[in-house]
């Protein structure tokens, strides 16, 4: 484990995004707050990303650390980034996006608004995002400043859309992304955010500090061709929600019914038996919800196979 040297580690996982990575670089060059490093984990790019980043390392007035590895999946890159980080606060950004010039300064200031004697109970700060046209993505938080957690924000307050924020690096190290040997497909980051939220609060603030380019967004829904590379992630996400977040069912029953369908649909797609699905759920409430939604999940995976997804 590395020691803390900077206030922030700005982390970018990338793969063949040399044509968009300059957005992150340019926005970091413009930052008004300079106590940060940029950590890039390259998952096997073949498009000249290496030479591009090397040129930036020679020119930039801030540290850029570039680690190349064979493609092992975004989740593995994420875990390596957390392990390698030298910043006390860990701020992720996709290789297609950009920050406002005052983003790091505002993140630092917002963290400091939490009383020092209370910060041990907080993991980080989260804000809103806009798209490439400057339009808010999703919905704002219900208050200008709200101390809450990922599950409450989603299920009780029905907040939707892409958000941006940082977490304490020491907290992130306690909650790694799940890794399945040999699997390099998509695993939803929400698994980690909800796990952290069961132990820590996040300060949610209605500011807009990041541009999220929607024309480059990662397809993460369990539909179309994404199921072939995301079914395992779908199982892990659904299992986490059903096992650990079922207390939020009264706030958003439909979301949990969809989760039950996702669990059986993705499990059956992967060839997991009904017994294995049953054993993967830890409460009778979760098992009942799974049983009720199983026929729909079974039908969905039949359509998936018919469509060749």
Token pair for residue 154? 């989603």
176 lies in the same domain as 86: yes
pLDDT in tens, 143-171: 999 999 999 999 999 999 999 999 999 99
Shared-domain flag, residues 140 and 194? yes
d(CA 271, CA 232): 11
Domain identity same for 188 and 236:
no
Task: State which residues form the domain around 177.
Answer: 6-216
The pLDDT value recorded for residue 159 is 97
Q: Does 221 reside within a domain? A: no
Please identify, among 216, 242, 257, the residue that sits at the C-terminal boundary of a domain: 216
Q: CATH code at 203?
A: 3.90.550.10
154/245 same-domain check: no
Instruction: Tell me 175's DSSP state.
Output: S
200-204, 216-220, 259-263, 283-287: least confidently modelled range: 216-220
Q: 1 in a domain, yes or no?
A: no
Q: Which of 149, 175, 170, 10 is nearest to 93 (CA)?
A: 10
For residues 76 and 111, state if they share a domain: yes
Q: Which of 216, 251, 271 represents a domain boundary (last residue)? A: 216
Token code pair at residue 226: 């994404």
Q: What is the DSSP letter of 119?
A: G
- End-to-end CA distance of the chain: give it in Å, rounded: 40
Torsion angle (degrees, nearest 10) of CA 289, 292, 298, 299: -130
Q: Could you say which DSSP state residue 17 is in?
A: -
Q: Clarify whether residues 136 and 281 are in a common domain.
A: no
Buried-state track 100-115, b at ≥16 Cβ within 10 A, e below 16: bbebbbbbbebbeebe
23 and 117 housed in the same domain: yes
User: Rounded to the nearest 5°, which phi and psi values hold at 252?
Assistant: -155, 70
| Secondary structure of 178-225 as H, E, C letters | CCCCCCCCCCCCHHHHHHHHCCCEEEEEEEEEEECCHHHCCCCCCCCC
Measured in whole angstroms, the distance separating CA 147 from the mean position of its chain's CA atoms is 19
Q: Give the integer Cα–Cα distance in Å for 251 and 44.
A: 42
User: Is 90 exceeded by the pLDDT of residue 227?
Assistant: no
Q: Which residues are CB-contacts of 264 (< 8 A; sequence separation ≥ 6)?
A: 277, 290, 293, 294, 296, 297, 298, 301
Q: What is the pLDDT of residues 16-62, one digit of tens each?
A: 999 999 999 999 999 999 999 999 999 999 999 999 999 999 999 99
**Could you give phi then psi for residue 126, rounded to 5 degrees?**
-130, 140
* Residues 289, 180 share a domain: no
pLDDT at 230: 87
Residues 111, 31 within the same domain: yes
Domain count, the chain: 2
What are the residues whose beta carbons fall under 8 Å from the beta carbon of 164, sequence distance 6 or more?
93, 126, 127, 128, 129, 209, 210, 212
pLDDT of residue 56: 98
Q: Are residues 20 and 50 in the same domain?
A: yes
- Say if 10 falls within a structural domain: yes
Q: Among residues of the chain, what percentage have pLDDT more than 90? A: 87
The helix-helix angle for 284-307 and 253-269 (nearest 10°) equals 60
Domain boundary among 163, 184, 216: 216
50 vs 70: CA distance, rounded Å: 13
* Per-residue confidence (pLDDT) for residue 72, from 0 to 100: 85
In the structure, what pLDDT confidence band is assigned to residue 4 with cuts at 50, 70 and 90?
A: confident
């Amino acid at each position: 484990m590395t020691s803390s040297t900077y206030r922030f580690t700005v982390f970018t996982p990338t793969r063949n995004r040399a044509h968009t990575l300059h957005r992150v670089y340019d926005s970091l060059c413009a930052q008004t707050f300079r106590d940060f490093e940029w950590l890039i984990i390259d998952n096997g790019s073949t498009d000249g990303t290496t030479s591009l980043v090397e040129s930036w390392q020679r020119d930039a007035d801030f540290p850029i650390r570039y680690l190349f590895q064979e493609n092992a999946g975004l989740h593995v890159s994420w875990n390596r980034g957390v392990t390698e980080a030298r910043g006390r606060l860990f701020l992720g950004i996709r290789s297609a996006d950009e920050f406002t010039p005052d983003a790091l300064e505002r993140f630092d200031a917002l963290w400091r608004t939490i009383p020092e004697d209370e910060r041990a109970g907080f993991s980080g700060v989260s804000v809103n995002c806009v798209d490439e046209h400057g339009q808010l993505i999703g919905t704002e938080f219900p208050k200008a400043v709200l101390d809450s957690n990922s599950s409450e924000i989603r299920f009780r307050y029905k907040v939707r859309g892409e958000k941006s924020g940082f977490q304490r690096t020491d907290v992130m190290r306690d909650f790694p992304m799940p890794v399945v040997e040999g699997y390099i497909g998509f695993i939803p980051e929400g698994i980690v955010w909800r796990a952290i939220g069961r132990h820590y609060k996040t300060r949610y603030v209605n500011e807009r500090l990041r541009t999220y380019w929607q024309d480059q967004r990662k397809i993460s829904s369990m539909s179309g061709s994404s199921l072939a590379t995301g079914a395992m992630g779908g199982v892990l996400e659904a299992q986490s929600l059903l096992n650990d977040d079922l207390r939020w069912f009264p706030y958003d029953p439909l979301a949990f019914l969809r989760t039950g369908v996702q669990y059986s649909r993705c499990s059956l797609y992967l060839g997991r038996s009904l017994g294995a699905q049953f054993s993967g759920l830890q409460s009778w409430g979760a098992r009942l919800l799974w049983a009720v939604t199983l026929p729909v999940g079974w039908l969905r995976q039949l359509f998936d196979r018919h469509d060749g997804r």
